Structure 1
Amino acid sequence: MKPMSASDRLARVLYALRMRSTFYCHAELKEPWALEMPAIEDSVSFHVVTAGTCHLRLPGADPIELRGGDLALVPHGRGHDLLSTADAGPSQRVDLLPQNYLSEHYSVLQHGGDGRAAQLICGVVSCDDPAARELMRSLPAVLFVGGDTVSAASSVRDTLRLMAHELAHPQPGGEAVATRLADILVVQAIRSWITTSTETEVGWLRAVQDERIGRAIEAIHDDPGAEWSLERLAQVATMSRSSFSERFTQLAGEAPIAYLTRWRMNVAHARLLNEDITAARLATDLNYQSEAAFNRAFTRVIGRTPGSVRRQGNDPASVPSVNRATRVAHTTVGELS
Structure 2
Amino acid sequence: MDVLSDVLERARARGGVFSVLRRVEPWGLSFAGERELTAHILLDGRAWLEQEGAAPVELERYAVLLMTAGAEYAIVSSPGAPRERIGDARATGTSTADGSAATVLCGAYTLEGSVGAAVLADLPRPVLIPAAWQEPAQRAAVGLLAEEAARETPGQQALLDRLLDTNLVYALRAWWQHSAAAAPGWFTALADDPLRRVLEAIHDHPDDSWTLPELARVARISRSGLAARFRQQVGVPPAAYLTAVRMQRAEETLRYTDATLAEVAAGVGYSNPFAFATAFRRHHGMPPGRWRQRAREAEAGAEPF
TM-score class, shorter-chain normalisation, is: 0.7 to 0.9
- Structure 2, unaligned runs of 5 or more: none
2:246 to 236, 240, 264: 264
Distance 1:292 1:212, change over 3 A: same
Classify 1:265/1:116 alpha carbon distance in 2 versus 1 (closer, same or farther; 3 Å): farther
SS in 1 for 2:49: strand
Report the counterpart of residue 35 of structure 1 in structure 2: 30
| Cα offsets for 1:38-90 (capped at 9, x unmatched) | 3445xx42211122212154x8765432133321224x555662242786599
Is the counterpart of residue 82 in structure 1 residue 88 in structure 2? no
Give the conservation status (yes or no) of the 8 Å contact 2:3–2:200.
no
Identical counterparts, % of pairs = 28
Contact 2:65 2:128 in 1 (8 A): yes
Contact 1:159 1:181 in 2 (8 A): yes
Matched, 1:121 2:113: no
- In the alignment, is the contact (CA less than 8 A) between 1:202 and 1:252 conserved in 2? yes
Match of 1:99 in 2: 90
Instruction: Map 1:156-305; keep pairs closer than 5 Å.
Output: 156-199=138-181, 203-302=185-284
Paired residues of 2:46 and 2:77 also in contact (CA < 8 A)? no
Q: 1:306 to 1:90 in 2, by over 3 A?
A: farther
CA distance in 2, matches of 1:253, 1:270: 24
Distance in 2 (alpha carbons) for counterparts of 1:153 and 1:228: 37
- Alignment partner of 1:288: what SS? coil
Uncovered stretches (5+) of structure 1, i.e. residues with no partner: 1-8, 101-107, 324-337
**CA apart distance, 1:92:** 7.6
User: In the aligned structure 2, how far is the partner of 1:78 from the partner of 1:234?
Assistant: 42
In the alignment, the residues of structure 2 paired with residue 13 and residue 126 of structure 1 have an alpha-carbon distance, to the nearest angstrom, of 19
Residue equivalent to 2:3: 13
Which amino acid in structure 2 is aligned with residue 146 of structure 1? P
Does the C-alpha gap of structure 1 residues 61 and 295 become closer, same or farther in structure 2, counting only changes over 3 Å? farther
CA distance in 1, matches of 2:21, 2:100: 14
Is residue 134–residue 204 contact of structure 1 (8 Å, CA) maintained in 2?
no
Q: Which residue of 2 aligns with 1:328?
A: none
CA distance in 2, matches of 1:269, 1:92: 40
Deviations 1:293-312 (CA, angstroms, capped at 9, x unpaired): 43454355456764466457
Structure with greater contact order relative to length (CA < 8 Å, sep ≥ 6) = 1
Alignment deviations for residues 171-220 of structure 1 (CA, whole Å, 9 cap, x no partner)? 44333222221122222323434554554787121112212222221111
So what's the TM-score if we normalise by structure 2? 0.75
